[in-house]
């Protein structure tokens, strides 16, 4: 059983979690200044950030934001790697949905196509409606490897990840 605890100006705690988030998602270690900059942005106006807490231990965070209307975008859901695969992501998602249902008809999110674990989590929890599609053009093809291919409305798209260096 977990609970969401609203961020209350614990910049050092959240900055540390943000560092671990970037390491896990992009294999990039931000500086203290970069993590603090994200912390301030993710807790500013039109943002709500919650710690995901199991008993008295913070095991991750949820970052919600507004993109013009009510706060109904799930910007980030992060569970520390040592707590992943235990159902806490699904529990946190349900808690977030219950908050957002109070004022919105939908919860939106963007997921990197290469993030198969996140896609599995969201799909397993009923996220099955395409809203918008983000596409990109890679200028330096050698930096990426194709890990999959998808077809949407008859158009073929490659799913790419960074190539090993």
Residue-wise pLDDT for 11-32, tens only, equals 999 999 999 999 998 888 999 9
Contact 75, 96 (CB under 8 A): no
The segment(s) of the chain belonging to CATH 3.40.630.30 are 2-128
| Torsion angle, alpha carbons of 33, 35, 38, 39, to 10 | -100
| Torsion angle, alpha carbons of 159, 66, 129, 7, to 10 | 80
d(CA 164, CA 150): 22
CATH superfamily of 2-128: Gcn5-related N-acetyltransferase (GNAT) (3.40.630.30)
Residue-wise pLDDT for 49-91, tens only, equals 999 999 999 999 999 999 888 889 999 999 999 999 999 999 9
Note the pTM of the prediction, 2 decimals.
0.85
Residue-wise pLDDT for 88-138, tens only, equals 999 999 999 999 999 888 999 998 888 888 999 999 999 998 888 888 888
């Amino acid at each position: 059983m977990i609970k969401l605890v609203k961020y209350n100006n614990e910049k050092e705690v959240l900055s540390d979690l943000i560092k671990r988030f970037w390491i896990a998602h992009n294999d990039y270690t931000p500086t203290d200044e970069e993590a603090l900059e994200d912390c301030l942005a993710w807790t500013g106006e039109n943002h709500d950030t919650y710690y995901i807490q199991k008993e008295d231990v913070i095991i991750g965070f949820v970052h919600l934001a507004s993109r013009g209307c009510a706060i109904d975008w799930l910007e980030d859901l992060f569970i520390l790697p040592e707590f992943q695969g235990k159902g806490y992501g699904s529990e946190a998602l349900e808690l977030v949905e219950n908050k957002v249902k109070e004022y919105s008809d939908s919860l939106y999110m963007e997921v990197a196509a290469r993030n198969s674990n996140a896609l599995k989590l969201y799909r397993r929890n009923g996220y099955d409606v395409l809203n918008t599609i983000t596409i990109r053009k890679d200028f330096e093809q050698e930096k990426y490897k194709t890990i999959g291919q998808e077809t949407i409305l008859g158009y073929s798209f490659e799913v790419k990840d960074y190539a090993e260096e």
